[in-house]
Amino acid sequence: MSYIELRNISYKYPLSKANVLKNISYSFEKGNLYGIIGSNNSGKTTLCNLIKGLIPEFYEGELYGEVLIEGKDVRKWDSNILATSIGYIFQNPFSQISGIKETVFEEIALGLENLGIKEDEIIDRVIDVIKLLNITDLAKKNPNELSGGQRQRVAFASIVAMNNDILVIDEPTSQLDPQGTIEIFDIINKLKQQGKTIFLVEHKIDLIAEYADEVLVIDEGELKHWGKTNEILANKDLLNRGINLPQVALLSHEMENINEPFDQFAITKAEAKKQIAKRWG
């Protein structure tokens, strides 16, 4: 039995004319990191909303097919249990901050308060997360006065504090500086090592190459390519679908073009480094 399974999923928002997702089936294993890639408007965020259970619960619309979590249809799960097992980090960090709390510390505690967790434990968990995300200097600030990148970290911290088994993360680093982006990916990697199952939407394809176990390519609502990251991200067809290849994959292709291909097609820096070292060795 798969951990999470999509069976012939098609979905239409209440007012949309055409299906936003078209006949998508896939099985997801526990503890893996799945990269979900595609051009804007391809259906990636809708797929996230579906896995999170916002569809059909919140958005309504017409849903065909089944979403099974541990073999059981999401519609049969207690929505409170689902809410505590799946965490969702929004695409737009400006919309994730509640706006009702006066300090970052309280903002991060908000979700835990709603779960009715004891105050001592809330404080411990918030302190841990603040340390993990390296935002101690923000703890006493007003969330509404933070810069875009700072808000994105706080939004991330709020979800990490919830300690969900499944995380749906929609472009977590769009507002972050490059070092901040690397830090967030280090944390995502740590969460993966803790056994969490992660769905990650991200345009920064070099990072998907580095961290994803498997990749799903969505185009116009359809699942076009799927499978092991190193196979999918070598495929030039992605360029036709508005998705860039990792810089290293482009390099590997260019080496093929001059008839000096790497012995093994590289998509990450570490892989390319080995190939180049062989020649220079």
Question: Which parts of this chain interact with another protein (CB under 8 A)?
Answer: 38-41, 91-92, 94, 147-150, 171, 174-182, 203, 206, 239, 242-244, 246-248, 250-251, 254-255, 258, 260, 269, 272-273, 276-277, 279-280
Q: Which is nearer to another protein, 148 or 227 (CB)?
A: 148
Computed from CA positions of residues 160, 162, 167, 173, in that sequence, does the dihedral angle turn out positive or negative? negative
Beta-strand (E) ranges in the chain?
Answer: 4-12, 21-28, 33-37, 62-69, 72-73, 86-89, 166-170, 197-201, 214-219, 222-228
CB of 45 to another protein, least distance (A): 8
Q: Which is nearer to another protein, 120 or 145 (CB)?
A: 145
CB of 133 to another protein, least distance (A): 13
CB of 23 to another protein, least distance (A): 23
Distance CA 169, CA 52 (A): 10
3-state secondary structure of 220: coil
Q: Which is nearer to another protein, 79 or 147 (CB)?
A: 147
Q: Which is nearer to another protein, 121 or 237 (CB)?
A: 237
CB of 126 to another protein, least distance (A): 21
CB of 229 to another protein, least distance (A): 16
What count of other Cβ atoms lies within 10 Å of the Cβ of residue 139? 17
CB of 144 to another protein, least distance (A): 12
Full DSSP string of 164-207 = -SEEEEE-TTTTS-HHHHHHHHHHHHHHHHTT-EEEEE-S-HHH
Distance CA 54, CA 26 (A): 19
Q: Which is nearer to another protein, 56 or 149 (CB)?
A: 149
Q: Which is nearer to another protein, 21 or 83 (CB)?
A: 21
Distance of CA 5 to CAs 65, 72, 181, 221, Å? 11, 9, 30, 17
3-state secondary structure of 106: helix
